[in-house]
Structure 1
Amino acid sequence: MGENKDIIVKFDGVQKSYDGEILVVKDLNLDIERGEFLTMLGPSGSGKTTCLMMLAGFEPATHGEIYLNEQPINNVPPHKRGIGMVFQNYALFPHMTVAENLAFPLEVRKLDKATIEQKVTRALEMVRLDQFGGRRPAQLSGGQQQRVAVARALVFEPDLVLMDEPLGALDKNLREEMQYEIKHIHDQLGVSVVYVTHDQSEALTMSNRVAVFDDGVIQQLAAPDVLYEEPVNAFVAYFIGENNRLYGTVKDEDSKMCRVELDNAGGDIKALAVNIDGTGSRTTLSLRPERVKILSESDSADNVMQGKVEELIYLGDHVRTRMTVAGNDQFIVKIPNAHGHPILHVGDTVKLGWAAEDCRALDAPAGGGDPA
């Protein structure tokens, strides 16, 4: 982060343990910029939700300090932090109308009646529910209830809104619609958002930056396109998007590239030397399915291998093709469903190729072998 950035949230050496022995968050140092949409992404137990709960004030930090607008807030109770919250279960008051749910945080702050009505009306319009103010939550669909929860978190104009798996209870189509809805509201208002999810496509769709958590540590913090195109380790490459993994030993390297001898007598591969321990070390090669091409006999590429077609799944715009390559029978190639692309059949053997720059040599899996 640059020195001239406007930082709204700062985690300074924050740790969290529930039992005094095992750290579920390990020495977290993170600056969140004012107005950005930052997503904490990771599998269950990675520490992302604990970080959100510490920021909200529902969990105390074991060590370190959290700052909001440059003020330490470890000892500030949740209701005095001025933070908006959106939960997966919506947490709406069932006995109140939609308008009364939205008015509640304003009444707590002792605003006058005219101001409350004005802010509630504006919030309902923002989430396209201005005709639903008189209904109770039980009379709304799941997506409408989620919109109300978002509006309630924003109605008192907080500097910061926290969202904890807010779309987890919605079906796929509604979930995708709400992703864009929340993103557009963020763009419109410029409010700072910290969002927690285990859904990597959700994180890529909505965020300015994504912090990928594993084992209580941020593995990589970057913009969505950088996470996808330039993962710094095997965990991030595997967790973000679909990814082919091949395993081998580094034979030689220069400043940027390396040559890897694949396991199972799979031959040599040229790759970007991203995160390796030098010649003779074990490595995981990461390669996105869309970067692999099916070659004609006369075509060439930096890396050329044979693949045997094991399964074909038609997905509309492309055919997801599972192959056996260098002993890996889970090697995926995405073939565009367009004129000029070959029609394959199960059992076919084809020539595959890809650029060295599209293949990243990363850290070895635990134990030096295939983690799967």
Structure 2
Amino acid sequence: MSNTEPLVKFENVQKSYDGEILVVKDFNLDVAPGEFVTMLGPSGSGKTTCLMMLAGFEPTTNGTIYLKDKPINNVPPHKRGIGMVFQNYALFPHMTVAENLAFPLEVRKMGKAEREAKVNRALDMVQLGDFGNRRPMQLSGGQQQRVAVARSLVFDPDLVLMDEPLGALDKNLREQMQYEIKHLHESLGLTVVYVTHDQTEALTMSNRIAVFDDGVVLQCSSPEDLYEKPENAFVANFIGENNRLMGNVESIDGDKATVKTDSGDIVIATKVNVNKAGDRATLSLRPERIMVSPSKGKTPNTYSAKVEELIYHGDHIRTRFSVCGHDDFIVKIPNSIDNVTLKEGKQVDIGWMSEDCLALDG
């Protein structure tokens, strides 16, 4: 297989549990060798179902899944050569850590010496070289998760699937494990398909993210493109924090759309997926792209706003404004000497560039 061919290919895959309602609708996705692709979406959007079909734990209703150019719809899970990490770790409590790792190698009829060498190497990969004789219950949650990751890697799989693997960990440990899995992926050249509903986790770890909603992928792009260039209102709202103003398109000129908001304000925005005057539009604006008291003429969109609330976040002040008929408009203001003059109830101008305001579907 050349590097230009996908390692995994979903082709027109559908899934229905009852023969009537499709929980996955016409899913297409290529995963290149060495890529880290995350399936991201709210609960019930179909992402875990897609992962389970790839693992072989769920049959497809229609369509074909390929691994290394070969269809695997009828290949049983244990013959797909895929490593798997679950949220609940799924470790055998009566076995030691080393025995847990040796188990997939025994199933593959590997000799004892080779088994021990692979187990030791996998434990070293996750910094647990001295823990082989302990039982899972003698380990912390983070250590158990490391063992689960090591077990998925011990037989050198072509592909590793991870289903919400960090969901049971506390915030600090979760962040630490995100970087550890990311570095393992990079250093070993692993191909990873990852499922999460945590957008920060997806942005931190992935080469590409497929955003699911109601069984459909609405956008599959790099983390940067998903955040900076969402193709629709759902993705803009689901990825990162976002201000939304609703309105109707007044006119379109090249890549710019003039939108009259429901409050009657006129906003110049970058046209994404509105097509003509009269179209309903969602204006999308990131909180860090909005300027407070911009110098005259600097921003094409400038409005008088009332400070409703100031919340101290250390590196920035999260400020809630009432503007353009919207009283929950969030601006992240860097914590600096220049910005300490804001007070609740104060009236100030805020503004933004038309490049930072996206006119999306209504």
Q: TM-score range by the shorter chain?
A: over 0.9
Q: Deviation per CA, 1:201-235: give whole Å up to 9, x if none.
A: 00000000000000111100000000000000000
Match of residue 307, structure 1, among 289, 305, 315: 305
Structure 1 Cα separation of the partners of residues 110 and 27 of structure 2: 37
* Contact 1:294–1:353, Cα closer than 8 Å, also in 2: yes
* Contact 2:219–2:231, Cα closer than 8 Å, also in 1: yes
Matching residue of 2:223 = 224
Structure 1 Cα separation of the partners of residues 104 and 299 of structure 2: 61
| The 10-residue stretch of structure 1 (323-332 or 35-44) with the greater mean CA deviation from structure 2 | 323-332
**Alignment of 1:124 onto 2:150:** no
Structure 1 Cα separation of the partners of residues 110 and 341 of structure 2: 67
Mapping of residues 54-203 of structure 1, within 5 Å: 54-203=53-202
Structure 2 Cα separation of the partners of residues 10 and 296 of structure 1: 49
Match of residue 323, structure 1, among 321, 343, 356: 321
* Contact 2:294–2:351, Cα closer than 8 Å, also in 1: no
Q: Deviation per CA, 1:40-98: give whole Å up to 9, x if none.
A: 00001111000000000111100000000111010111111110000000000000000
* Contact 2:3–2:32, Cα closer than 8 Å, also in 1: no
Structure 1 Cα separation of the partners of residues 299 and 236 of structure 2: 23
Residue 295 of structure 1 deviates from its aligned partner by 1.5
Structure 1 counterpart of 2:339, one-letter code: H
Instruction: Tell me: CA distance 1:4–1:130, structure 2 relative to 1, closer, same or farther (3 Å).
Output: closer
Structure 1 counterpart of 2:354, one-letter code: A
Structure 2 counterpart of 1:189, one-letter code: L
Alignment RMSD? 1.1
Q: Deviation per CA, 1:98-117: give whole Å up to 9, x if none.
A: 01101111111111111111
- Identity, % of aligned pairs? 68
Q: Secondary structure at the match of 1:201?
A: helix
Structure 2 counterpart of 1:324, one-letter code: S
| The 10-residue stretch of structure 1 (288-297 or 191-200) with the greater mean CA deviation from structure 2 | 288-297
* Contact 1:297–1:351, Cα closer than 8 Å, also in 2: no
Instruction: Tell me: CA distance 1:97–1:59, structure 2 relative to 1, closer, same or farther (3 Å).
Output: same
Residue 324 of structure 1 deviates from its aligned partner by 1.0
Structure 1 counterpart of 2:74, one-letter code: N
Structure 2 counterpart of 1:142, one-letter code: G
Structure 2 Cα separation of the partners of residues 302 and 62 of structure 1: 52
Structure 1 Cα separation of the partners of residues 174 and 121 of structure 2: 24
Structure 2 Cα separation of the partners of residues 296 and 156 of structure 1: 58
TM-score (norm 1): 0.95
Residue 297 of structure 1 deviates from its aligned partner by 6.3
Structure 2 Cα separation of the partners of residues 302 and 4 of structure 1: 47
Residue 29 of structure 1 deviates from its aligned partner by 1.1
Structure 2 Cα separation of the partners of residues 80 and 329 of structure 1: 56
Structure 2 Cα separation of the partners of residues 338 and 54 of structure 1: 51
Structure 2 residue runs without a partner (length 5+): none
**Alignment of 1:334 onto 2:336:** no
Residue 299 of structure 1 deviates from its aligned partner by 5.6
Structure 1 counterpart of 2:82, one-letter code: I
* Contact 2:3–2:33, Cα closer than 8 Å, also in 1: no
Structure 1 Cα separation of the partners of residues 111 and 162 of structure 2: 28
Structure 1 Cα separation of the partners of residues 83 and 350 of structure 2: 51
Structure 2 counterpart of 1:306, one-letter code: S
